[in-house]
């Protein structure tokens, strides 16, 4: 974490002026009246005013996963991230950390960096060549004869940033929520063995889903729909999500195989000192998290049809391919799979009330050679397909939510993480609007 | 008519919450102040709030023509219809009737049927496989170990539906307007001889017109612009719409030909027991209607350049090709031509305040063979061209209506049906907003 | 100037009803609180309500440059111009003047003329053939038997128009601002020698820029960004915009060259009786203007890489190619370059709050022959490139302005014309909203 320049607050009172006090009261009431255990009322998925409130109260206040250091491996490497009305630069600095800067020139408001990714020294705005240091300080404004102009007042606005286990987080609030430190301590031991400092980007996919960001997240937080994912189903035990009490008799054999694999994985994790137990605090803290390691079906190594490895190179110091998947869910916008041979990160970036960009990144060991150690098509197949299927599901819901015949429906037990996401969301918004 | 499950009301108070009480008052005032005999003020064609009100007060309350049984001939056949925010399934049932169901899953709101048309037994939502009977009852929700979940509470919402003379109507109101029975009795005798139970779809065209749905309807309700329809003009007498008093002297010959054709058609209808007289109740009842039979020019059989038949097979039990056209106009969104050799149905489905889908369907005898009994290109030529010309007219008006220089203009006498449409619309909306 | 039919006022109270009194108060407050010397707050560039106010208070009230008579050289020639919600016809009349008519039929509101340009006698609406004289009088409405219909009440609405030195201006206000006469007297002597009565259109370009119209104008009003225009830089002295005090020592030589060229141009202008001095009243009067003549670098004749002429034919009665450029800036939406061999006119027509059409027209002597006297590609190269570069700058600012991190930035001294534009705009709007 590095921000010598204190981040300046933005967006104070924006919401009130943007949507008016009366509408704000209506929105607050809608949050207060949310029925627990049920999906949200239609406007939460379709109303631009509630979207604006979400951008302020969720994406303007909480830690958001923005990418990994594998995307910006060297000092000066940057990536840009846009969500809702925000435009950000994440720039790798000389200390190994990341500077988060608003991508908005302080002169006339031009977007400073225009490429999605790249490498830069100082940041030069293309409009009038105002030049900022990597920390955002204005170091040159070519205005001849400009008296009384104080460059110190016109640095790029900064945001808070954190790098934990190679994941880059950004927070736009003046005072970020405090419990992220605790959460970082929770997930760091799970992720560190996969060592994101020694991986490279094999592939990145960007999908714009025609659905509200919360529908994207709800869809991610349950596998009740996983019959709709035939490729992914090869990796998951058919008993996934069931318990001793709920397993149907015809799956008794599978259940035993599942339990054995779980036991074997536990043993293996104990041997290598890898944490294994589930930590589930999705709606019991501000920086909501769920993390666990679980076995995969078949060979149990990776997301392939057979369960066999998809890259021949183990990550970090791992000594075994058969480590199942370590899965992490973070509120508000990200999920992850850490396997022995590769890592997949997912982030949902809201575009507007009815569109969301989902960015998926496949990471492999930095010494893995495409075509030799891994086949890119095979590496990405399962989740490319799964993402497309999920996009379809989200879009079906967005269309349905617009109908006056839509009313909130009940989340099933297997959808408890959806409920956790929604109740987390509602609580955060109630706090913000209070 | 078949709805064992009582349709559940939807959308109560939606409008108020969607657009706010102050805006609602403004809209109500705008309706109250409409100047009779003149086109509407600009916002009626351009304002999303008034569009929302239209969807609630017109398309949410009144009988809407949705299609014909020729489009869903067998039990299990369905078509989907979307207008404004609504999404509906019209499913042919075992009794020969049609079930109207909201296409919104009661679990998470996904669109249940995703194809425009098809055949189905039970309706299975593609997201989590919730399964509904053709009547909409939830018969399977694969949620293991779900205690206290009452399937009876989560049936698909239903709408009222009617099949009259093969035409399918749907009404989303809790209590549909009562006078539709009377209207059905009016038009059934005109249409029955064409027997839609024995026709098939020859062609269906969908045109999205860049105009408000009311401009589409206004355009349909007058032939003052018919100089802009050269193909259609072959079928209409050049004296169409004129009277003894208004016929110019240079058309005296045509007028005599017209009167003779009318007399001959009357004689022929009397012989076959076909109703002939005009019934005109477009704005004098809630389910506004106009129906009449009138001669066509030339051979007087069909919409061809010469007036000759376009399909060799007579419809139903008709014994003569020379029956002119039986034309029906229904409020709020449909019009029809019934000829001896084919039928054309038209429906306008609003998309948003500035776009309307016009669906046109050509029906021929079910034993007519394409390429033998009819040439598809010739069958559809006149109205394909006419529709494109009308689309252009509607779009010119939509663009003009946006200008501050636009002000309501006077409807001419030959546009009395436009006035009838608009005054019907305004009355219905005033009742609804009261 | 010719309008025998008194222009009828439009749009009175439109704004109030369109956006509500509360929002109107907020907008008025925003204007009142504008910080001098700084760019505007974000909503001025992004809010549809403020855009609607701009269209009413600026484009509905002030003289707008619409085109030149070279675009409509003969009586009956017309061009259509659309900006914001307005649609206009500019029709050359028999007196050499221009009739400005709203392109909205008084019957049902259809757009009357549908082509961008053309030649017409009477104006016939394509919908129901209502026919208007070139002055807008309704002369034929083919409505048989229409009693009590007074054609005199349904002429096309007119706007004020002016032709000054071949430039066509239109004003939609009931009472146009009075000081335009004075401004016409200011610029007429500068432009007349280039004689737009004897030029022709060589090329016209339309660019839709994804930015608010004020960002387009701000960008036009400074050359602080001219490092981003490599082609244009060939024509401008590298010391452009500098003064004795601000010229850096390494440009001392260039500065001397610049001063010499200026002196030589002054001498030449004196010899030919061409006005030379700068007149700068951009925000000190209602019809804001800046006009001057200045030397170009290199050969000093035209916008080519070497400074040499781009057309072999001198304009009007000019006797010398080396006349630099006479540049004129008019509020609210236009700028111009008058050279000895060609003229370029630019107008910015707002589309909506985030899009602006920039129309650029290259004019050459009417006896210049393409391929012989001028090469079209070379003639248009510098400003085609410059326009594309400017489009990019505008779009970078539009994107930045949407961010909550955007805040108004300071205009530099070299951007004094931007400040003049913005303060002119703010003053006009305050007057209008008062």
Tell whether the model's pLDDT for residue C183 goes beyond 80.
Answer: yes
Rounded distance, CA C138 to CA C161, Å? 20
Find where tokens 């808070």 sit: A160
Q: Give alpha helix (H) positions in A157-199.
A: 180-191
B95: CB partners within 8 A, 6+ apart: B2
Q: Is B403's CB within 8 Å of C143's CB?
A: no
CA distances from B30 to A306, B26, B27, B416, C56 (A): 67, 6, 5, 22, 22
Angle at B161 between CA B157 and CA B167, to 5 degrees: 145
Q: What are phi and psi of A235, to 5 degrees?
A: -90, -25
Mean pLDDT across chain C: 93
Nearest to A109 among C242, C248, C400 (CB): C400
pLDDT, tens digit, 9 for 90 and up, residues A16-38: 556 777 788 888 998 999 999 99
Residues of B in contact with C102 (CB under 8 A): 403, 405
Are the beta carbons of B227 and C142 closer than 8 angstroms?
A: no
3-state helix, strand, coil in chain A (%, to 5): 35, 25, 45
Rounded distance, CA B164 to CA A211, Å? 39
The three-class DSSP label of residue C169 is strand
SS3 for B48-116, per residue?
Answer: HHHHHHHHHHCCCCCCEEEEEHHHCCCCCEEEEEEECCEEEEEEECCCCCEEEEECCCCCCCCCCCCCC
The three-class DSSP label of residue B170 is strand
To the nearest whole Å, the CA of A40 is away from the closest chain B CA by 9
Residues 265-294 of C with CB under 8 A from A: none
The neighbours of chain B, by the rule of 3 or more Cβ pairs under 8 Å, are A, C
Are the beta carbons of B397 and B211 closer than 8 angstroms?
A: yes
Are the beta carbons of A225 and A393 closer than 8 angstroms?
A: yes
Angle at B204 between CA B201 and CA B206, to 5 degrees: 160
Position with higher pLDDT, B156 vs A5: B156
Q: Is B372 on the interface with C (CB under 8 A)?
A: no
Tell whether the model's pLDDT for residue A266 goes beyond 70.
Answer: yes
Rounded distance, CA C351 to CA C83, Å? 6
| Cα–Cα nearest to C318, from C297, C306, C301, C335 | C301
Angle at A303 between CA A299 and CA A306, to 5 degrees: 40
Residue in B405, B407, B416 to test binding to C, most C beta-carbons within 10 Å: B405
Rounded distance, CA A424 to CA C84, Å? 43
User: Burial, A115: exposed, middle or buried (Cβ in 10 Å; 0-12, 13-18, 19+)?
Assistant: exposed
Q: What is the pLDDT of residue B143?
A: 66
Q: Is C419 on the interface with A (CB under 8 A)?
A: no
| Lowest-pLDDT range of A288-297, B198-207, B231-240 | B231-240
pTM: 0.94
pLDDT, tens digit, 9 for 90 and up, residues A343-376: 999 999 999 999 999 999 999 999 999 999 999 9
Residue in B251, B403, B409, B421 to test binding to C, most C beta-carbons within 10 Å: B403
pLDDT band at B300 (very low <50, low <70, confident <90, very high): very high
pLDDT band at A170 (very low <50, low <70, confident <90, very high): very high
Rounding to the nearest 10 degrees, give the CA dihedral for residues A55, A61, A62, A67. 60
To the nearest whole Å, the CA of A229 is away from the closest chain B CA by 10
To the nearest whole Å, the CA of C245 is away from the closest chain A CA by 8
Are the beta carbons of B290 and B280 closer than 8 angstroms?
A: yes
Q: Is C223 on the interface with A (CB under 8 A)?
A: no
pLDDT band at C245 (very low <50, low <70, confident <90, very high): confident
Across A163-167, average pLDDT: 98
Other Cβ atoms closer than 10 A to C118 = 14
Rounded distance, CA C20 to CA B21, Å? 13
Find where tokens 């960008």 sit: C219
User: Burial, B25: exposed, middle or buried (Cβ in 10 Å; 0-12, 13-18, 19+)?
Assistant: exposed
- Ordered structural domains, chain B, with CATH: 63-176 (2.102.10.10), 179-416 (3.90.380.10)
Query: Among residues of chain B, what percentage have pLDDT more than 70?
Result: 95
ipTM of the complex: 0.93
Are the beta carbons of B418 and B426 closer than 8 angstroms?
A: no
Are the beta carbons of A128 and A108 closer than 8 angstroms?
A: yes
The three-class DSSP label of residue A133 is coil
Question: Cα(first)–Cα(last) distance of chain A, in Å?
Answer: 30
Residue in B42, B391, B396 to test binding to C, most C beta-carbons within 10 Å: B396
Q: Is A404 on the interface with B (CB under 8 A)?
A: yes
Q: What is the pLDDT of residue B334?
A: 98
The three-class DSSP label of residue B129 is coil
Q: What is the pLDDT of residue A410?
A: 95
Nearest to C399 among A87, A145, A146 (CB): A87
Task: Tell me how far apart the 2 most distant CA atoms of chain B are, in Å.
Answer: 84
Q: What is the pLDDT of residue B4?
A: 41
Structure tokens at B367: 């034993």
Residues of C in contact with B228 (CB under 8 A): 126-127
Across C172-178, average pLDDT: 94
Question: Cα(first)–Cα(last) distance of chain C, in Å?
Answer: 30
CA distances from A261 to A258, A275, B165 (A): 5, 16, 64
What radius of gyration do chain B's Cα atoms show? 23
Across B230-244, average pLDDT: 90
Tell whether the model's pLDDT for residue C385 goes beyond 60.
Answer: yes
Q: Is A21 on the interface with B (CB under 8 A)?
A: no
């Amino acid at each position: 974490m590095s921000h010598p320049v204190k981040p300046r607050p933005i967006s104070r009172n924006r919401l009130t002026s943007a949507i008016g006090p009366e509408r704000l009261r209506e929105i607050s009431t809608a949050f207060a009246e949310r029925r627990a255990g049920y999906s949200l009322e239609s406007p939460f998925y379709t109303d631009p005013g509630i979207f604006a409130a979400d951008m302020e109260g969720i994406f303007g206040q909480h830690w958001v996963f923005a990418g990994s250091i594998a995307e910006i491996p060297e000092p000066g490497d940057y990536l840009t991230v846009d969500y809702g009305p925000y435009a950000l630069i994440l720039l790798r600095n000389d200390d190994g950390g990341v500077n988060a800067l608003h991508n908005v020139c302080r002169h006339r408001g031009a977007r400073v960096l225009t490429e999605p990714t790249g490498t830069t020294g100082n940041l030069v705005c293309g409009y009038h060549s105002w030049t900022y240091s990597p920390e955002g300080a204005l170091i040159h404004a070519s205005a001849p004869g400009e008296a009384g102009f104080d460059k110190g007042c016109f640095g790029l606005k900064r945001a808070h940033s954190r790098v934990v286990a190679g994941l880059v987080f950004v927070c736009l609030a003046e005072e970020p929520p405090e419990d992220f430190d605790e959460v970082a301590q929770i997930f760091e031991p799970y992720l560190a063995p996969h060592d994101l400092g020694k991986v490279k980007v094999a592939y990145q996919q960007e999908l714009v889903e025609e659905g509200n960001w919360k529908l994207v997240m709800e869809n991610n937080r349950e596998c009740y729909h996983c019959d709709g994912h035939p490729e992914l189903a090869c990796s998951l035990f058919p008993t996934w999500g069931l318990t001793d009490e709920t397993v149907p008799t015809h799956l008794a054999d599978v259940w035993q195989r599942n339990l054995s694999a779980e036991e074997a994985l536990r043993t293996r994790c104990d041997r290598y000192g890898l944490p294994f137990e589930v930590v589930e605090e999705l709606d019991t803290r501000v920086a909501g998290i769920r993390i666990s390691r679980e076995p995969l079906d078949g060979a149990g190594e990776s997301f392939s049809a057979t369960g066999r490895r998809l890259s021949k190179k183990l990550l970090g110091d791992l000594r075994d391919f058969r480590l199942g998947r370590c899965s992490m869910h973070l509120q508000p916008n990200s999920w992850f799979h850490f396997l022995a041979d590769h890592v997949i990160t997912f982030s949902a970036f809201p575009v507007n009330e009815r569109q969301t960009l989902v960015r998926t990144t496949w990471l492999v060991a930095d010494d893995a050679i495409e075509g030799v150690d891994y086949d890119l098509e095979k590496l990405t197949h399962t989740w490319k397909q799964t993402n497309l299927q999920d996009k379809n599901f989200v879009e079906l819901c967005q269309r349905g939510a617009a109908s006056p015949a839509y009313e909130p429906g009940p989340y099933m037990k297997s959808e408890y993480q959806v409920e956790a996401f929604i109740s987390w969301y509602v609580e955060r918004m109630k706090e913000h609007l209070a």
